[in-house]
Amino acid sequence: MEKDSVTGKAVAGNVAEEILRCADETGSDLIFMAAHGHSGRGLWVLGSVAHKVLTVSRVPILLVRGNLPRGKAYSEWPETAIVPLDGSTLSEFVLPYVEALARKKGAAPEIRLLRVCEPPVLLADYPEAVMPEKWDQHVQLAQQSAERACGLYLGEVQKRLQDAGLTVHTEVLLGDKVADAVIQHAKRQPLAVIAMSTHGQSGFTKWPYGHVADRILLATENPLLLVRPDKKK
């Protein structure tokens, strides 16, 4: 098959099952599909076909919502890939796919590594009278220290990707609700794709997304690249 060639195939049968069968038979690297569901009360209701493919597929899926903003040419999309990481090997499983997506695009989009860390625990009985800084200063310094500690890991991943020639930035957010922090961050960049591994367990009929990925899947309107880790590797 020539580079950038397009082929088509019409089949009869259950739509989701035939999509999965085609991906398996052709050795596809990615399933690219639109979600025909609708949003309401801040949550998405996925169409039945998208839901079935998502819950079974072992192939990475790039899911685009039906209301993707049309302010720019699709040849310029995505501008940014937001990659939530939690410091685990499983969360990093998505990185080669993000790198491949960037290189396929030609003009590589910015990769923004994102980590959400719990805020520092601060004692209410802070002895302000004998400490060198006031309470507000103490809180600020503690938060900055926590952000630096979380950022050390992101810096290591950033260097690996930059050494491969990619444009990479990092950002640390403090919060105890990881999914909500990622969703709010992505809302400011509606054309950014959120790329993440699901931490799900393999299974014949069901793919448990994991709490964070599941919440992001249902609540964000951004495009999503979802990769299920192969724990045998």
What's the pLDDT tens digit per position in 34-91?
Answer: 776 555 545 455 667 777 787 778 889 888 876 655 555 555 667 789 999 988 888 8
Q: Are 210 and 76 in contact (CB under 8 A)?
A: no
For residue 3, being part of any structural domain is answered with no
What's the pLDDT tens digit per position in 17-47?
Answer: 888 888 888 888 888 887 765 555 454 556 6
Answer whether residue 150 shows pLDDT above 70.
yes
167 bridge partner residues: none
Phi, psi (5° rounding) for residue 192?
Answer: -80, 145
CA distance 228 to 203: 11
For residue 9, being part of any structural domain is answered with no
What is the pTM assigned to this prediction? 0.75
What domain range is 96 assigned to? Answer: 15-227
For residue 5, being part of any structural domain is answered with no
| CATH number for 188 | 3.40.50.12370
For residue 1, being part of any structural domain is answered with no
Number of independent structural domains in the chain: 1
- What value, to the nearest 5°, has the Cα angle with vertex 217 and ends 205 and 69? 130
For residue 232, being part of any structural domain is answered with no
224 bridge partner residues: 63, 194
CA distance 155 to 29: 29
For residue 233, being part of any structural domain is answered with no
115 bridge partner residues: 172
For residue 7, being part of any structural domain is answered with no
Q: Are 113 and 214 in contact (CB under 8 A)?
A: no
For residue 8, being part of any structural domain is answered with no
